[in-house]
Structure 1
Amino acid sequence: TSSSDPHVKFHTQCTLFAPHPQLYDDIAPLTAANFRFLAQGTKITPAINRPLTFCGSFFHRVIRNFMVQGGDITHFNGLGGYSIYGRLFKDENFAVLHDRAYLLSMANAGPHTNSSQFFITTKPCPHLNGKHVVFGEVCGGHHVVDYMQNVPTDTLFRPRQPLLVQECGLLSD
């Protein structure tokens, strides 16, 4: 990735410090653009009649030593999502492997079912290669991701404490 790839700010209620995702615009431009617009909250779609934004959504699924998942901007519980391209969009490519922790990757329900849901890996996950599009990485704030992956969960991996996205957007240069 190039040093000009945009960084996004993401503040959660679990800490004052935030993970800082860097997006791979040069590798997965459509997927990175979807995430960036959802972080900025500047696009409104008639389908849900409000801004499409991660703000107010939750990290709804946490599996220790695997990943933390969020981005359901419609139902806020893992059952929904919406992209800037419509409800779903196609897998862009599988050029980046899930070979380390702190990668940003699209959550999906099978081929070409990307929306707004994403996850952050907390270890290498080679079983996800060829199934989920990696579109960025968390460059700063690893301790926040580590904290989130260790919160208590129920048997369905839902956090027992809310992991709310309070603020998000682009970092200022």
Structure 2
Amino acid sequence: MKRSILYPAIFAGMIAGSFAAEKASEAPAAEAPKESASGVQDIKIKMVTNKGTIEATLYASKAPMTVANFLNLAKRGYYDGIAFHRVIPNFMVQGGDPTETGRGGPGYRFGDEIVAELKHDKPGMFSMANAGPGTNGSQFFITHVPTPWLDGKHTVFGTVTKGQDVVNKIVGKLQQPGWKGDGTGDKIQQIEILDSADALFKAQAAKIKEWNEILDKAKKE
């Protein structure tokens, strides 16, 4: 059964069934950072979880707004302590919701950045969860296996370069006999930005200013 990465009101009743067991392999080694015409390069990050560390390259050169949003939230500590609230074996692990209900977000939404060459074609792809076109916020997922039916519907913005075994460990709890529930309780502890994001933040300054005003207002309330 093909599955969707949507918020609960949209995907309720769509998660029945299962895929044949398939072991997700370790992601390939990182390539040299790519650069866009504006001089924005792809950016490496380190995501520390209670199950281990995931290293990834984010495609700032191809999905600059999406990566700027993710890194801005990471820089603010937004993701620290948030659980992977939706975990499905042979599909993906989803996080980024501070309410851990699948309905939460940063208080704003932004448009898709669908790039034809960026696909959900292997384990370890970072992509945005949404409730339809143009509804991106803070929720994202990492694929456990290839999920090609999501191509063109969700913005792919990065790939795991080291630590896909950590994703497998998070998924593994749900594969234990008798486990009931959606998420596993595993959490993001911290996200570290390993490369300079200055060029990206400068290029996306107007959007980041808008987002931060909303985030700051919500923090005061």
Q: TM-score, normalised by structure 1?
A: 0.82
Cα deviations across residues 124-153 of structure 1 (Å, max 9, x unaligned)?
A: 111101110000011111110111111125
The number of residue pairs the alignment matches comes to 154
Structure 1 residue 9: deviation in Å?
1.5
Could you tell me which residue of structure 2 aligns to residue 70 of structure 1? 95
Residues 1:25 and 2:60 are matched in the alignment: yes
**Rounded Cα–Cα distance in structure 2 between residues aligned with 1:66 and 1:119:** 10
- Among 68, 87, 93, the alignment partner of 2:108 is 87
Q: SS at 1:81's partner residue?
A: coil
C-alpha RMSD of the superposition: 1.8
Identity of aligned residues (%): 44
Distance (Å, rounded) in 2 between the aligned partners of 1:172 and 1:22: 10
CA contact (8 A) 2:114 2:153 kept: no
The answer to whether the 8 Å contact 1:94/1:129 transfers is no
Decide whether the 8 Å contact of 2:144 with 2:167 is kept in 1: yes
Q: Which residue of 1 aligns with 2:163?
A: 141
The residue number in structure 2 matching 1:120 is 142
Which residue of the partner structure matches residue 23 of structure 2? none
Say whether the 8 Å CA contact 1:91–1:114 is kept in structure 2. yes
Which segments of 5 or more consecutive residues in structure 1 lack a partner in the other structure? 42-51
**Structure 2 residue aligned with 1:11, among 3, 27, 48?**
48
SS at match of 1:18: strand
Q: Which residue of 1 aligns with 2:172?
A: 150
Q: What secondary structure sits across from 1:72 in the alignment? A: coil
Aligned mates of 2:139, 2:180 — CA distance in 1: 20
How far, CA to CA, are the matches of 2:110 and 2:192 in structure 1? 22
SS at 1:105 equivalent = strand
Greater strand proportion: 1
Give the deviation of 1:8 after TM superposition: 1.3
Deviation at 1:77, TM superposition (A): 2.5
Whether the aligned pair in 1 keeps the contact of 2:62 and 2:115 (CA below 8 Å) is no
CA–CA distance in structure 2, aligned partners of residues 13 and 77 of structure 1: 20
- Answering whether residue 194 of structure 2 is matched by residue 168 of structure 1, we say no
Q: Answer whether contact 2:43 2:195 (CA < 8 A) is retained.
A: no
1:54-65 aligned within 5 A? 54-65=79-90
For the residue of structure 2 that corresponds to 1:10, the secondary structure is strand
TM-score (norm 2): 0.65
Structure 1 stretches of 4+ with a deviation exceeding 6 A read: none
